[in-house]
Amino acid sequence: MNKKALHKISYGLYVVSSMKDGRYNGQIANTVFQITSDPVMIAVSLNKQNLTHEYVAHSRKFSVSVLAQDTPLKFIGRFGFKSGRDINKFEGVNYREGVTGVPIVIDHAVAYLEAEVVSSIDVETHTIFIGKVVDADVLLEEPPMTYDYYHKVKRGTAPKTAPTYIGEVKQEKKTYKKYRCKVCGYVYDPELGDASQNIKAGTPFEELPDDWTCPVCGASKDDFVEID
């Protein structure tokens, strides 16, 4: 079996949010899909270990925010690589309360859906929650993030993108090694630098300041390994 075939399935990138006992939590999910149109039903697949899973299982309701293509890595990292058991993910984030009471993340969202769980399916490590959509709206007329775009462009594993391409750097390319974050998989590419932390294109990993951290998950330089 060639599991790479699975990588050819298209997905988006979403924040799925819910609540429990007045507390909010949300997480990044790529598995959100519409199942029926009348009534409108959607499904999400959540890992049982995640706090959001606990919240959805308890409250039987959730919201889905469809992230824009230009969503910053740091925002994705906040919802994707941190746990709501450690931080309040909604602090400093724009959200609104939905008709069911669940939080709806507004920042970087092109649209949202709010649903009440009508059924759930146990699939070993995950639960698929099927929800009847009770509210939805479009927030921005911008392209949504696809999972493919996120992996290839956002996480820096793609061919160089034009706006950050610097010809001079390219000639020295062989001396510039890429480093991967062991925690989240983000790749630091010296040719791109890290604009989110004012690291100029052409800065070797070794010359990053000691307090530089992974722009996605916040891991330290020690958590990075050299890659080819």
Residues that bind Fe ion (CB under 5 A): 181, 183-184, 186, 214, 216-217, 219
In the complex with Fe ion, the residue whose CB is nearer, 82 or 160, is 82
State the pairing for strand pair 126-138/40-47: antiparallel
In the complex with Fe ion, the residue whose CB is nearer, 60 or 178, is 178
Smallest distance from Fe ion to CB 216, Å: 5
Chain-centroid distance, C-alpha 224: 20
Whole-angstrom distance, CA of residue 204 vs CA of residue 192: 10
CA proximity to 50, closest of 88, 87, 21, 85: 85
In the complex with Fe ion, the residue whose CB is nearer, 130 or 183, is 183
- Quick check: helix, strand or coil at residue 122? strand
Smallest distance from Fe ion to CB 158, Å: 17
80 secondary structure, DSSP code: H
Smallest distance from Fe ion to CB 155, Å: 9
In the complex with Fe ion, the residue whose CB is nearer, 68 or 217, is 217
Rg (Cα) of the chain, in Å, rounded? 19
Smallest distance from Fe ion to CB 182, Å: 8
